[in-house]
Amino acid sequence: MEQWNIWFDRDLWIAIGIVVVATAAIYTVLRALVGIVHKRLTTWSKGQDGNWQHFVAVVIGRTNRTLLLAFSLLLALRLPDLPGSWQAALSHTWFVALALQIALWVDTGVRLWSRSLVVGKHGGSYNPVMTTIISIMVLIVVWSVMLLSILANLGVDITALVASLGVGGIAVALAVQTVLSDVFASLSIGVDKPFEIGDFVVFGEVAGSIEHIGLKTTRIRSLSGEQVVCANADLLRQIVHNYKRMDTRRIVFKFGISYDTPSDKVRQVSERVGEIIRATPKTQFDRAHFLGFDESQLTFEVVYIVQSSDYNQYMDIQQEINLQLLDALRELDVRFALPRRDLRLVGERMPTLKVAGLPQQAEPEADDQEQRLPRFN
């Protein structure tokens, strides 16, 4: 009967009524305060997604209603007199609810921060790989610390749990070491930035523009049109030439003139080449020298700087220089060198060809034949 009499205890029902009314009142007040703060901050940050008011407004908007109700109930339970065991249980509940809400706020803040970096104010991409990896790592740490803190607060021995998680983590890392190497390589790409989306790169036999940098692979659109997928770890082992970051181009080209060219005209060739390059827009002349004697030509080496990284513009400039160089050499009456070979017959005698049906000429004397022996160049 005593067990049933407790349900008819007037003081118990009064305490329960006070807790319910207080919970509803506190919840209403808290909801109103959170709503007012969120609305004010949203109004102040309207049209300014990157300022701190917008950031705080989004974080506050993530306040969980269930946890807010739990906070209200915990506050209301402080009004009546409760046994000591109840007070201990309430303290644990306070910690669990507060830890969950803080984790939700931090989770929202990290996601908002990563999104603000990936999509900047001007809509451009900003280091998506590094941002994604860091945000994932921070979220894992936050939720892991929250879970372990709750378990420790509830009296669970987390030492063995942490040790087992460490051993399990090592086993998983060994099993997926290839994937992890690509992930850490992508983190290295995000930190060091050897290339970014839109850069034109050349490595090995691949040449193309970077389309996507992921956690495991990088995708490149080649010049022939196909998409080349390369693992990040393999890509970092290559020597990568990034032409997008080239401000200027240093151009070196050679040409050859005939050995029959007089020395005074050879000197004039270097001067004319310098005049041509100086008169060409967006170029800076460096040098033009008579380099040396090759097998069938007098070789010149020309060096100049193109004040642009655009490849098509460089080809237009080189074409104009070549055309003007062709005209200048014609004005100087200087010929470009052609491949040349000197042939000498063994014995200095031409072989006699006898063709059936044709009259044969008498063989000339040896001295006369040697005088008329042709030379081939």
pLDDT digits (tens), the chain, 377 positions: 445 555 555 666 676 777 778 878 888 888 888 888 878 777 776 766 556 666 777 777 777 788 777 877 777 777 666 655 566 666 667 777 778 888 888 888 888 777 776 665 444 445 566 677 777 878 888 888 888 777 777 777 777 767 777 777 777 666 666 777 877 888 788 778 888 888 889 988 889 999 988 878 899 999 888 999 998 888 888 888 888 888 888 999 999 999 989 989 999 999 999 999 999 999 999 999 999 998 889 999 999 999 988 888 999 999 999 999 999 999 999 999 887 776 666 665 666 666 666 666 655 555 554 544 454 44
Q: Are residues 154 and 206 in the same domain?
A: no
290 belongs to a structural domain: yes
Domain extent for 93: 2-177
Looking at residue 157, its pLDDT comes to 72
342 belongs to a structural domain: no
End-to-end CA distance of the chain: 132
Angstrom distance (rounded) from CA 288 to CA 329: 15
Q: Are residues 26 and 125 in the same domain?
A: yes
Q: What is the CATH number of the domain that holds 316?
A: 3.30.70.100
Angstrom distance (rounded) from CA 91 to CA 290: 90
Looking at residue 89, its pLDDT comes to 65
Whole-structure pTM value: 0.51
Strand partners, 287: 303
Q: Are residues 96 and 204 in the same domain?
A: no
Nearest to 179 by CA among 143, 141, 150, 217: 217
Angstrom distance (rounded) from CA 25 to CA 314: 75
Looking at residue 41, its pLDDT comes to 74
Angstrom distance (rounded) from CA 39 to CA 54: 11
Looking at residue 23, its pLDDT comes to 78
344 belongs to a structural domain: no
Looking at residue 327, its pLDDT comes to 94
Looking at residue 308, its pLDDT comes to 86
Residue where a domain stops, chosen among 147, 177, 207: 177
Q: Are residues 86 and 200 in the same domain?
A: no
Q: Are residues 39 and 168 in the same domain?
A: yes
Residue where a domain stops, chosen among 177, 208, 234: 177
Q: Are residues 93 and 217 in the same domain?
A: no
Looking at residue 376, its pLDDT comes to 47
Give residues with Cβ within 8 angstroms of 195, minimum separation 6: 189, 201, 210, 240, 242, 244
